[in-house]
Structure 1
Amino acid sequence: MKYHVEARNVVKRFGPTVALNGASIAIAEGETHALVGRNGAGKSTLVSILTGLQPADEGEVLFAGEPAPALADRDAWRRRVACVYQKSTIIPALTVAENLFLNRQTDGGVIRWRALRARARELLDTYEVDVDVQALAGDLSVEQRQLVEIARALSFGARFIILDEPTARLDGPAIERLFARMRSLREQGVTMMYISHHLDEVYEICQSVTVFRDARHIVTRPVAGFSHDELVGAMTGEATAAYQSRARTPGERVVLAGEGLSLAGRYREVDLTVRSGEVVGLAGSASSGKVGLAETLVGLRRPDAGTVTVDGVRVRPGDVPSALRAGLGFVPEDRHHEGFVPLLSIAENATIPIAGKLGRFGTVSPSRQRARAVQLIDDLDIKTEGPGQPVGDLSGGNAQKVVFARALVDDPSALVVINPTAGVDVKAKQALLGAVEDAVERGAGAVLVSDDLDDLRVCDRVLVMFHGRVVKDVPRGWTDHELVAVMEGIEQ
């Protein structure tokens, strides 16, 4: 078999930590090959080596049978491989055309803007990306930004693309459009490595799958005939059952309420109540308004009309501190930009909401901060060297647990969590959903917004939004078909 890219017996160490231990992968020309594994399995380290961002300590990388270029030869790397990361590298303040040809606007001399825009349109037309080249990148949807990044990657001449959690922030229809584009690229001879924690996607779009566990290569097999249970077992080293939601009876006390909420262009005339001991889901497409509504509940958005009440206290519209003081905990949609400060420690990040309670006269007691952080690390099973470790050094799943720790640190009366398991592995997903249910069992109420139907199974009921309105309150016990039919406007 002719391989487009190979990594052979790769070893990578970071101090005492072995990030890759003799790991290998071989991707056939023209195939879409999945790389899966739990957070910390070594996937991100392999990506950094396959893209030439850092060298392997041992082993080798080959492209079409030839040794990889020298690390300093960035142009040679770009011609061989490109990566579309989960965290967008598009610059919001620049136009689409400027992003597509960043640092390549001209071969020398002044920039000819009309010619640049023409080149950009030609490039996007080639890969069937329907985006205005003069639009600011910051005004694009997540889906559009990803397509622009793919087009930019291919413009260097690379025929091997790594897609790192590309669907983490896309809804169902956008995912299907992305997969259609990937199939088209494969027909054009583009080879892809697909990294995802959504195993159903692996079966839908990939031909082969490689599993990493504990920094090692475990198995490579064709997707066909590789059962879901076998795949999860290879990832975890054990048989892993699907998360089982806990039975509970909600109380009578209303801990979070929205009344008559409207925000132009996002949602209108929404009423919502959450009782203690209850998890209420919000479901719908990306244009349904569900995320905008959740962000209004926590004060990130100011509604045009309506009120928000937390545990009986009316909070000031569009005022996050007011909502937090009233007893709200929040897990944002984008942990990289809104969830934590990468260079601060776990202890500092997790205790930000209670910093004023950890000392006197505006100071923070290091011992009290550390003790609270140690408790949260234990409660959420955060894999770390200790509370002093920077959050930016953690795997995605463990970083998300720190975001949860911050939301839970002050024992909130109500929780609002948005796409809490995006980009985390099956074990971390169980821990995070368990943390929501633990808080609810202590008497809190929760709003859980998710594009993942498995997340919504922990909910006592799911409010489905369609074009800015709540169209149905679906009780526990729904099937995928029933919920998706309402989300897509087929049934109401």
Structure 2
Amino acid sequence: MSGPAPTPPLLRLRDVAKSFGAVAAVKGVSLALHAGEVHALAGENGAGKSTIVKMLAGVHRPDSGGVEIDGRLVVLHDPAAARAAGIAVIHQEPTLFPDLSVAENIFMGRQPTRRLGRIDRDAMHTATTALFARLGVAIDPGRPARGLSIADQQLVEIAKALSLRARVFVMDEPTAALSGVEARRLFAVVRGLCERGAAVLFISHRFDEIFALCRDITVLRDGAWVSTDRVADVTVDAVIRRMVGREVSALFPKEDVEPGEVVLDVRGLTRTGVFEDVGFTVRRGEIVALAGLVGAGRSEVVRAVFGVDRYDRGEVRVAGRRLLPGSPAAAMARGVALVPEDRRQQGLVMELSVERNAALTRLRPLARFGLLSARAERRAAHDWARRLRVKHGRPGDPVGTLSGGNQQKLVLAKWLATEPKVLIVDEPTRGIDVGTKAEVHRIMSRLAAEGMAVVMVSSELPEVLGMADRVLVMREGRITADLPGAEATEESVMFAATGRAGEAA
């Protein structure tokens, strides 16, 4: 006797393909999501993950292949159709109506009403409280969405999806902006969803999360399916090899360089309530990392050095000459470049083309008689895109069509085109895959070897320890330790970051 027929997947992608012009973003990918399980989707930036998410969200329709729910083919022709099919996408940074309450955001357009069509706020708050109880979290239904942490915003989106009877949850880099405690709370919510029969597609560059949370893992490379395995049957090294198609022999390819003269000299920099008496130097050929916990003041210091933010006391000197405070234009003129943490909001103009973004820092040198030369702009964009291996379609395509890793490299290219003496990079590899991380590290190492002074802000300790010649640890707006790279350890950095430097010995 044969056993019962296997239960069909809750959701299945069958040979889906999607192209944008000449660029094939997804090439015949198949994937099955089962009720009660978390399935990881891994791959480098540009591997096709975001395109698959957008197809499941109803933003893009596949050119071929299809999506099945409970074994039946469905057409997700728009986001409303995806929601009606029971699919919810939880983004890294949700978009809520900031001036509405949590409950109003969850029931927007579907508010319960009383007689004469008046909104029943008591019923709405009661339903919202019940949704959060199912998730095992406590958020006030009446509080405004403005001011909610990213973690709580995601929980509001999950509660909204539950109210819409979602059964498939697609989580795209949900922990990228979360603390460890917030990530663990999210994982508990995800496990609770699965216990109630939901299927979860989990996208993350953090292998520790994938191996702790997921049962299966599918790897994509260059838009094509590579493998699907039980997480218990593979190793991190095996997944990385499949993602990049090669051995990643050195994620931190740091070259040994003899530092030269001091290029950047920060003295007594103070901004009341944010950072105090911050001082350090950076030499030619040196990579200096600013480490510390979230809120320690690292990003605020480098923004002040570059002139984005003003400071109350202190001074910044570049090559021995005092830098005018509060003026990014003056910093650029003196050879300082800042690659910001938020590449989409601060590093790129998403509506403009790849070539225009690459040339934004050099508009004046590229112009003739006050008019921008399109040929010069295109030539400059192509040069740096080639040198940094930026993968893109046409130079005139919107920069938003690039993957996250290629956007990051384009921001680097934009600033390197100014030929800076000092390069400041804030979270240089946040949200990009392991293969692109190695490329960014290689670029930074090569720039230092060529004599550039590099300041790196990073929350990833392996990156700090692997790339820095010196590690400056910040805590509550002050530098608490200055550690030579060869002597810095995870323990010594964390002791200094948490105010327990004496225990490092």
Q: Give TM-score, length-normalised by structure 2.
A: 0.88
Contact 1:169 1:422 in 2 (8 A): no
Give the C-alpha shift of residue 315 in structure 1. 3.7
Q: Distance between the aligned counterparts of 2:79 and 2:220, measured in 1?
A: 29
Q: Deviations over 1:459-478 (max 9, x none)?
A: 11222223333222232143
Q: Which of 265, 278, 282 pairs up with 1:270?
A: 278
Residue 259 of structure 1 corresponds to which residue in structure 2? 268
Contact 1:79 1:157 in 2 (8 A): no
Q: What residue number does 1:235 align with? A: 243
Matching residue's letter, 1:27: L
8 Å contact kept, 2:57–2:79: no
Which one of the candidate residues 458, 461, 470 is aligned to 2:467? 458
Taking the aligned partners of 2:142 and 2:329, their CA distance within structure 1 comes to 37
Identify unmatched segments of 5+ residues in structure 2.
1-5
- The alpha-carbon deviation at position 334 of structure 1 amounts to 1.3
Letter in 2 for 1:298: F
SS at match of 2:169: strand
Distance across 2 between alignment mates of 1:415 and 1:403: 12
| Deviation of 1:79 (Å) | 5.6
1:37 maps to 43
Residue 367 to residue 224, structure 1, CA distance change in 2 (3 Å): same
Within 1, Cα distance between the matches of 2:271 and 2:499? 20
Q: Name the SS of the counterpart of 1:175 in structure 2.
A: helix
Per-residue CA deviation, residues 443-484 of structure 1 (Å, 9 max, x unaligned), is 222221122223222111222223333222232143434434
User: 1:309, 1:112 → 2: CA distance?
Assistant: 61
2:71 to 58, 65, 72: 65
Is residue 470 from structure 1 mapped to residue 479 from structure 2 by the alignment? yes
What secondary structure sits across from 1:337 in the alignment? helix
Q: Distance in 2 between matches of 1:250 and 1:267?
A: 28
| Residues 101 and 333 (structure 1), Cα distance of their counterparts in 2 relative to 1, 3 Å cut | farther
* Corresponding residue to 1:483 among 475, 490, 493: 493
Give yes or no for contact 2:422–2:452 (8 Å, CA) kept in 1. Answer: yes
RMSD between aligned alpha carbons?
A: 2.6
What's the CA shift string for 1:319-363, capped at 9, x where partnerless? 333332332211111112111112222221112122111123322
Question: What SS does the corresponding residue of 2:467 show, helix, strand or coil?
Answer: coil
Q: Sequence identity, in percent?
A: 37
Kindly indicate whether the alpha-carbon contact (under 8 Å) linking 1:311 and 1:327 is maintained by their aligned counterparts in 2: no
Preserved contact between residue 313 and residue 326 of structure 1 (Cα < 8 Å): no
Query: Paired residue for 1:326?
Result: 334
Aligned residue in 2 for 1:56: 62
Match of 2:366 among 351, 358, 367: 358
Offset of 1:379 from its aligned partner?
1.2
What TM-score, normalized to structure 1?
0.91
Change (3 A) 1:368 1:283: same
Residue aligned with 2:290, SS: strand
Structure 1 residue 72, shift from structure 2 partner: 5.3
Q: 1:308, CA displacement in angstroms?
A: 3.3
Number of residue pairs matched by the alignment: 491
Does the 8 A contact of 1:129 with 1:148 survive in 2? Answer: no
Residue 207 of structure 2 corresponds to 199
Superposed displacement of residue 235, structure 1: 1.1
Partner of 2:438: 430
- 1:225-260 Cα distance to aligned partner (Å, 9 max, x none): 301221111112222223222212222313252523
Aligned match of 1:285 in 290, 293, 311?
Answer: 293
User: Gapped runs of 5+ residues in structure 1?
Assistant: none
Q: Secondary structure, in 3 states, of the residue corresponding to 2:10?
A: strand
Q: Answer yes or no: is the 8 Å Cα contact 2:362–2:418 preserved in 1.
A: yes
3-state SS in 2 of match to 1:296: helix
Which of these two proteins has the greater Rg computed from alpha carbons?
2
What's the CA shift string for 1:381-430, capped at 9, x where partnerless? 11123433321111111111111111211111212211121222222212
